[in-house]
Every structure is written in C-alpha cells, then in structure tokens.
A and B are shown apart, each in its own frame.
Chain A
Amino acid sequence: MSKIQSTFQRLQATGRRALIPFITAGDPAPELTVPLMNALVEGGADIIELGVPFSDPMADGPTIQRASERALANGMTLRRVLDTVREFRTGNAETPVVLMGYANPIEAMGVERFVSAAREAQVDGVLIVDYPPEECESFAQAAKDAGLDPIFLLAPTSTEQRFRDVARVGSGYIYYVSLKGVTGAATLDFDEVATRIPQIRAQVGMPVGVGFGIRDAESARRIGEVADAVVIGSRIIEEIERSPRDRLTANVTAFLREVRTALDQVEGAVR
C-alpha cells in the first residue's frame, strides 16, 4: 500500500478529513521551501502538494502564476525540486509529497529518469495538469511501477466515462476541481460539490479531494462534510506573499491550523 493510501486509511479510521496544502517549490526562495513544508505539517497538513514551476502555467490563475514566476526567477528547476524533497525527507519520513506541475519539464528530463529520480527522492505521487488519462497511460504505468501514485483531476463538467478513465489509470486519490476556470477563482458552488462527490466516490473507488476556490476555515469545513480531502493553494500563496520573512512560517502554520481546527469539527465518515 502506498503512503498516500495508508494516510487516507488512517484518517478514515478516525473519521477525519485530509488537509492538503499546495505551495510552489522555490517560492518565495528555494531555501525557504523545506521550512515552509515543515510549517505546513505543523499546521496540520496530511499530504503536501508541491508545485513544480513552469514558464507557461496555462491552468493557473494569477496567484499561482506569480508564485511560478518567482520560483523560476529564483532558479528553481525540476531537479532542484527533487533535491528539495530529499532534504525535507531528512526530517520527515511520513508526510506524503505529491509533485504537481506541467508535462514539459518532465518530458525534458525524460519520463524514465524522472520516475526513478522521484522514487529515489521519496516522492509519493505526481499530478501533471496537462496529462489527461488518454495521453499518459504509459507514464501512469511507469509511475505506478515505481510506487508513485499518478493523481488525476476531475471537473464539474466531467462525464461518467471520464470517471472510468481516471479510475483505470489513476491511484492514490482524485483531485476534484470544484469550479470552472483556473486556480484561485472566486466562487465555489457547495451544492454542486455535494451532489457530485458522492457519485465520483462511488465510481472511482478512491478518496476524493476537492480544490480550487477553498479560501478559509468555513469553506474547508463545508467541503469536508462531503469530501475525503480539502486542497488549499492560492490562499496559502497569498499568505506567503504578504508575510514578512520573519513571520513567514509562523503565519502559514497559523492559517493552516485554523483550517485544520474547522475541518476536525466535521464528524464521522464522509456521507
């Protein structure tokens, strides 16, 4: 069983939801990424999604675009992201790390080299935004063979056929994009999420995390009523942007802890 799967199993046994924060590696500075990852764990993160910066982040809104631009300006590369995970692992062996990014940096490294390097760095999962299931069956298989969970997105507009495609090639969890548009967009339709998630859970046989548009403790709690996991990205990047360096990790921990507390008020199994 993968570390991601056992994390969900452990949480489900105690009726808790997974909290999955996202940050971009190298933002605001490469040497601050590991301290920030530790700050996220301290604030109650169960899994960390670590963004691999890309020059053309087509699916991201302005906030994560800015994070990506800062990271690239700081010289962050896929290789250095893997080094960062390795460094994080010297102090934390348990918290699963999922790399999230775009296909081109991985293809430039070479899929096989990437998969074995990621394995060696103790990465647990990969989510490649512009690799839909139909274009990456061989990549997904290579990842699985190396013990990495290939994680896929589903959207409000996805058909039941898509559920099946994703169930076939993916593992670990499903990342449900809770609204149309790009990361960081404003409105979240709770009712829509509440009707869709049970359908997806029933069909894919994997935990479902919900992301895009979750900005505070209250929205996280409401999503937690229906989903296995809550993903928060843009809001944490904003916290990073407005924090002075000496308050950076403390602010991020404090923000996440608030969300954690709200999420832990949700009781019992996912409906």
Chain B
Amino acid sequence: MQMADAPYRFPDPSGHFGPYGGVFVAETLIPALDELRAAYEACRDDPAFIAEFDYELKHYVGRPSPIYHARRWSDLLGGAQIYLKREDLNHTGAHKVNNCIGQAMVARRMGKPRVIAETGAGQHGVATATVAARYGMECVVYMGSEDVRRQAANVYRMKLLGATVVPVESGSKTLKDALNEAMRDWVTNVHNTFYIIGTVAGPHPYPLMVRDFQTVIGQECLLQMPEMTGRQPDCVIACVGGGSNAMGIFHPYIDVPDVRLIGVEAAGEGMESGRHAASLTAGKPGVLHGNRTYLLQDDDGQIIETHSISAGLDYPGVGPEHAWLKDSGRAEYVTVTDQEALKAFHDLCRLEGIIPALESSHALAYAARLAPTLPKDKILLVNLSGRGDKDMHTVAEKSGIQF
C-alpha cells in the first residue's frame, strides 16, 4: 500500500475536500469517529499494518490484477485502444474486497469483534461477509428489503459465509436506507462494533480510508501501463456509484499531467426521464450520510429515489472527493443509460469472452462511445470493477428469459 503524495493534498485534516466532505453526524457518533480516526491514523503510519495489507491482497485477493488489451473490441470500434484493469478477477469478483480487508484489519486492531455493513446489490455485503469469515468476526449486513428480494443469490451467499442479513423496511427500502440502519446499529453498539462502509462516502475518515485501500488499483496501473504500452493512458474511465472503484484508479493519476479522468454515472432510463442515479450530473450539493456532497434531492431537500439497472450504482449521493474533483475540473463526469450499458455488457461477452458487472458496463459503454472519436494510437484505460455473474438474472430478465 502506498499513500497519497503531494501536491494534491485532500482531504484537509478535518476531512474536507474544498466545501465537501466533513463530519455531519449526530453528537452520539462523534466519539466513535474520533476513535476510528485515531486508530486509522496509527495504522496508516505503521509499516507492519501496510505489510500485512499487501500480503492479504496478494495471497487472499490474488493481486496484482492484470491489465488486458481488449484488442478485438477496440478494432471493431475502430479508434482508440481499450485496456481493462481486471478487478473482476479478484476474490469475490469485484474491487470491493480490497477495502473490506483494510477495514477489517483496522477493526481487529481496535479489538472490535463484530462488523456491520450496508449493501445494495450485495457485492459489498458478500465481500464483508467473506472477510469476516476469514478473520472470525461476527458479521451483520443491512440490506433494503427491495434489494433482498432482487438479489436473492447474494443474500444466500452471505448466509453461507456465516453473516446475518437484516432486511431494512424503512424509507425506500434500498441502499440509502440500509446505510441509515447500519449507522443506527453502529451508534447503539459502538463498544464492540466496527462499521465497514463500502464506498468513499460517509463522515471523515471514511472517504479517505476507503480511498487509501482502493488506491492499490491505480498504483498497479501506474506500473503496468508503461510495461504494456510504454506510457500512461490518455484517459482513465470508471463507473461511479459511491465512487470507490473510480477513486481507487483515479487517485494515483491526479498528479499525472495530461491524463483525463472520466467518471461514468448511471443515466438509468435516460436523464430526461428523471429516472436515473446521476448525482454529480443532475444533483445539488447538500448533506447526507455524514458528508456534504452532490445529492439527488427534491426542491425541499428530501432525498429522492434513484433508478439504474445496476444496483451498485443506485445511490442518490456520491463520495465527496468526486464532488471536489468535478468542481475543480480535474475529473469529468458523464452518463450512460441502462440500454447503452447492456449493449457494452453483451459486446464484451461476445468479443472478449469476459462477462462484466453491470456497474462496470457503464464505464465500458462510455469507452465504446469515446474510442471511435479518437485516433488508433490513443489509449483508454477502463476499470473493469467487477464480474457479471451476479447480474445473470437481471440481464436474462431483460432478454425475456426465465431460469
């Protein structure tokens, strides 16, 4: 694990990225966050912690993940060359596990025997349950009751791994409500419980900590791309739900000049339909889940329900660092519809023999839009954040197939 260097220095010591981020929580959570910040700072400075994290990533997750040149697909698109960072090959099938290992290690150091997590699609829940099993910790996963119904296979996986899955019935019964419920559990059981947040959101120090644990993705790319292509890519493209896979691959590139960073949000049924999950593109700054960031909200400041074919992008907020990268202009944010994501999903299956996650398919779809507009010697690096096994039911249903 390598930490961020100068000159990009965010967050500030109180967890702010410009006007975003911070610690917007009830007083009851302040001591828990103080304790976590102190513990995490100690881990961050401890070579033994970093060595253990690197060991786990290598031997348990299977890192480094390779980079793959999607040559047939690039040829067909007829423009820039597309390279894929294969986070789909990680244990548990997505980038999420990098962060879960890091946080579970912090939890162990803090002497907390119980971990909790929120999950939407179930990927972060599965990764947390996996790591909890590996470390012998009690694990409780909060999941909106709507999502429990939609993601039955992942619910069963978590149970196999020994976790308790708690369906959340409040609010819109989806990811944001699961997060609320996990926070409520944490504030009640903080003496023995560590809350493993699944993305670069939440109150400080979560956005920083999750970024640190995911930065391994981009750090590897910094070494792998010159080996493969003789240089760094022209564009780095990643999907953005909460923003952890994107932050993980973007962050090491922030100080590399001339590399465009492009985050892809879910346009769902189309931006004009209003049924989407594009917080940065269509949201307004506000306060939710412990930080200030762009939010999808109505005129009265109530959070609105989001829509995306991929449950992992179905979130009305976004990590505060992305809000800052947007405002500062260092990263660009674009949108891709369900339809475009599905087409990219099928193309990658047929042309490259890789079944991508629907979340990652959004990043792929944007690469497919961009590549033909660029010359053949340009290089696009796409974060293939996860594999699509979990999405079989969703895709089959779209094609009118019942198992």
Contact A56 B27 (CB under 8 A): no
Given A104-B287, A182-B184, residue A135 in contact with residue B24 (CB < 8 A)? yes
Q: Does A132 contact B27, Cβ atoms closer than 8 Å?
A: yes
Known interface pairs A57-B180, A69-B170, A180-B190; A105-B31 also in contact (CB < 8 Å): no
A152 to B30, CA, bound (A): 13
Which of A77, A132, A152 has most B Cβ within 10 Å?
Answer: A132
> Given the interface contacts A108-B299, A154-B27, A181-B184, does A56 sit within 8 Å of B176 by beta carbon?
yes
Chain B min CB distance to A38 (Å): 26
Q: Does B171 contact A (CB under 8 A)?
A: yes
- Whether A180 contacts B300 by the Cβ 8 Å rule is no
Q: How far is the CA of A105 from the CA of B300 in the complex (A)?
A: 6
Over the window 48-83 of chain A, the binary record of Cβ atoms lying under 8 Å from chain B Cβ atoms (1 yes, 0 no) is: 000000111111011001000100100001110000
Residues of B within 8 A of A (CB-CB), count: 36
| B26 and A77 form a contact (CB under 8 A) | no
Please pick, from B27, B184, B286, the residue contacting A108 in the complex, using a CB distance under 8 A: B286
Contacts of A158 in B (CB 8 A): 27, 30-31
Kindly state the separation between the CA atoms of A5 and B141 in the bound complex, as whole angstroms: 45
Q: A55-B302, A55-B303, A62-B170 are contacts. A108–B25 as well, Cβ < 8 Å?
A: no
Q: Which residues of A contact B190 (CB under 8 A)?
A: 180
Let me know if A130 and B24 touch, CB within 8 A: yes
Q: Assuming the A-B contacts A69-B170, A132-B27, A182-B187, are A108 and B297 also in contact, with contact meaning beta carbons closer than 8 angstroms in the complex?
A: yes
- Interface residues of B, dominant DSSP: mixed
Complex contact B288–A104 (CB within 8 A): yes
- B31 surroundings in chain A (CB, below 8 A): 155, 157-159
B183 near A58 (CB under 8 angstroms)?
A: yes
Within 8 A of A (CB), among B249-285: 284-285
Which residue on chain B has the smallest CB distance to residue A131? B24
> Separation in Å of the A123 CB from the closest CB of chain B?
17
User: Is A107 in contact with B287, judged by CB distance below 8 angstroms?
Assistant: yes
With a CB–CB cut-off of 8 A, which chain B residues contact A62? 170
Q: Which 6 A-B pairs have CB atoms at the shortest separation, nearest pair first?
A: A108-B301, A105-B301, A181-B188, A153-B27, A157-B31, A103-B287
Q: 26 pairs across A/B with beta carbons < 8 Å? A: A55-B303, A58-B26, A58-B184, A59-B187, A65-B170, A65-B171, A69-B170, A104-B287, A104-B297, A105-B300, A105-B301, A108-B286, A108-B300, A130-B287, A132-B30, A135-B22, A135-B23, A153-B27, A155-B27, A157-B30, A158-B31, A162-B30, A181-B28, A182-B184, A182-B187, A185-B188
